[in-house]
Amino acid sequence: MKLWRWLWLLVTLGVLAEGFRVALFVVPPDSAQGNVQRIFYYHIPSWAGMGLFFAINLGCSLVYLAVRNRNEALAIKADSLAVASAEMGVVFCFIGLVTGSLWGRAVWGIWWTWDARLTSTLVLWLIYVAYLLLRRFAAGPQMRTLAAVMAIFGYLDVPLVYMSTRWWRTQHPAPVFGGAPGSGIDPSMMPAVWWNLAGWLMWGIFVASLRYVSEYRAQKTEQAEALKSLEFAPGQTQMAGGRS
């Protein structure tokens, strides 16, 4: 298991290095924006990662709600994966916001604007931060249930973010992939997109898997301790009863 993880990390670093090389030195600069456009190769993978991990979070939350009373082992696994993927999604969302902001400063001349895409994305980030906060403010199985419900609410914002550039006239550029006819980028730029997409998703999966394992162990330990204290309880009440 550990060997696999090391191998995965090595391959990931290799792909990221290749992605960096292709994005910065191989593909041609954008005809209109010049070299600034190259941040796109980091912007897109962040959103792809965010989309992937928030979807995993939603799936795990649904699984948790469905099996929490029937299959505790599976429920704990689903909940641990939900936490790991939410944290990873928040990180990707943050990187996406930062890369977008850097690009905006260079191209628009401003760091931030309150158009529909940027606002809804920031709100999405806030919602998932609130999700992680909720997990800290409550405890035990009831917290997991509440968090799973919260995750469903959080995910309702994702379609809004995705459609915002289609529904409204935003300052954010129109969709590059899957947008109007004729959208998309020059085929000569695609290698940079593919390498970075693969590299950053692999990186995300690596970090999320580490977080999953640590969260799973923490929850197992917590459960074992709770069971242990329950086992001790009858003896103690007996003793207390004997004394009285």
Partner 1 sequence: MKPAYFLMHLKKDLQLEWRSKDAINSMLFFALLVVVLFSLAFDPTRAVSRQIAGGILCVATMFAAVSALNQAWARELRNQVLDALRMTPAPAASLFLGKALANFLFVMVVEVVLAPVFVMFYNLHALGNAWLLLLVLPLGTWALIVNGVFFAALSIRTRNRELLLPLILISDFYSSAAGDGDVGVGDSDGGNRIRCLWIKMLAAYDVIFTTVCMMLFEVILHAE
Interface residues with partner 1 (CB under 8 A)?
Answer: 65, 116, 119-120, 123, 126-127, 129-130, 133-134, 137-138, 141-143, 145-146, 148-150, 152-154, 156-157, 160, 167
Q: Which is nearer to partner 1, 107 or 149 (CB)?
A: 149
| Least distance to partner 1, CB of residue 185, Å | 30
- Taking the C-alpha atoms of residue 43 and residue 64, their distance in angstroms, rounded to an integer, is 31
b/e sequence 182-200, b meaning 16+ C-beta within 10 Å: eeebeeebebbbebbbbbb
122, burial (CB in 10 Å: exposed 0-12, middle 13-18, buried 19+)? middle
| Least distance to partner 1, CB of residue 103, Å | 23
| Least distance to partner 1, CB of residue 61, Å | 11
CB atoms < 10 A from the CB of 83, how many? Answer: 25
| Least distance to partner 1, CB of residue 54, Å | 15
Question: CB-based contacts of 1: which residues, under 8 Å, 6+ apart?
Answer: none
| Least distance to partner 1, CB of residue 22, Å | 37
- Residue 139 per-residue DSSP state: -
The SS3 of residue 34 is strand
Q: Which is nearer to partner 1, 13 or 123 (CB)?
A: 123
Distances (CA, A) of 52 to 88, 148, 181: 10, 17, 25
Q: Which is nearer to partner 1, 152 or 227 (CB)?
A: 152
Q: Which is nearer to partner 1, 6 or 114 (CB)?
A: 114
Q: Which is nearer to partner 1, 16 or 118 (CB)?
A: 118
CB atoms < 10 A from the CB of 66, how many? Answer: 14
- Residue 127 · residue 157 · CB < 8 Å: yes
| Least distance to partner 1, CB of residue 64, Å | 11
Q: Which is nearer to partner 1, 74 or 123 (CB)?
A: 123
**Longest C-alpha distance within the chain, in Å?**
87
Q: Which is nearer to partner 1, 40 or 157 (CB)?
A: 157
| Least distance to partner 1, CB of residue 150, Å | 7
